[in-house]
Structure 1
Amino acid sequence: MLPVHEVLAQISGKWTILVVQVLSAGPRRFSEIKRHIDGVSQKMLTATLRDLEKDGFVSRKVTPSIPPRVDYALTEMGQELQEPLRVIGNWAHANRHRVEEARERFAEREEEAKRLAW
């Protein structure tokens, strides 16, 4: 049986969350997904989509044409993932300033510790 931490590692990945968000609007081609996600490289997007397909969150449909058309869509399990990710995203958005403040306090303590060590 697959350990829970492996599932959590996959669904909490930086690009996974964004890909699920983009695909929540419906099937998309690779280039459409990439256009909606700032900063993702082609290599990382390809790896993320393959991992999501392997784990059953995303389906990949190839339509024979010239050039071949490949569409990605959320599976039923991928659709079920939308709500928990939305809740986490809303929490992160609402608390980002608190995290930033905590990081600033931590950096100040680190600087103070360095000064005292000399």
Structure 2
Amino acid sequence: GAMGASGGRRIWTAVLQSLVHHIDQGMSLQQAVQAPRIHVEDGDVMVDGRFEYDTISGLKSRGHNVTIVNPRYDVAPYAEPNGIAVDGADLRSAVYPVAKTTMAVGY
């Protein structure tokens, strides 16, 4: 399989979290790329607003500077991953559903 993203400095966190969700947590590729994520840079923690309240409040209670963001089509606070997984003879494609029109293809 393969995975990539657009999004500058935020690419590696999006791709890494998506791969961990897919490989280690057993999510489908589509579930993995659209799962809530975080990005840490310069001491700030950017947290997807889809995380549960307890997760966000736990980060704040530990002293993290948390900014809650809600991804939407016209604002992309995170990189926008997409990927391809091989399932036997089939290719499974997944795209970040909030992103601009994009796709992952393979042969």
Please indicate the TM-score interval, normalised by the length of the shorter structure.
Answer: under 0.3
Q: Which has the higher helix share?
A: 1
Structure number, greater radius of gyration: 1
Q: Which has the higher contact order (CA 8 A, sep 6+)?
A: 2
**TM-score, normalization by structure 1:** 0.25
**TM-score, normalization by structure 2:** 0.26
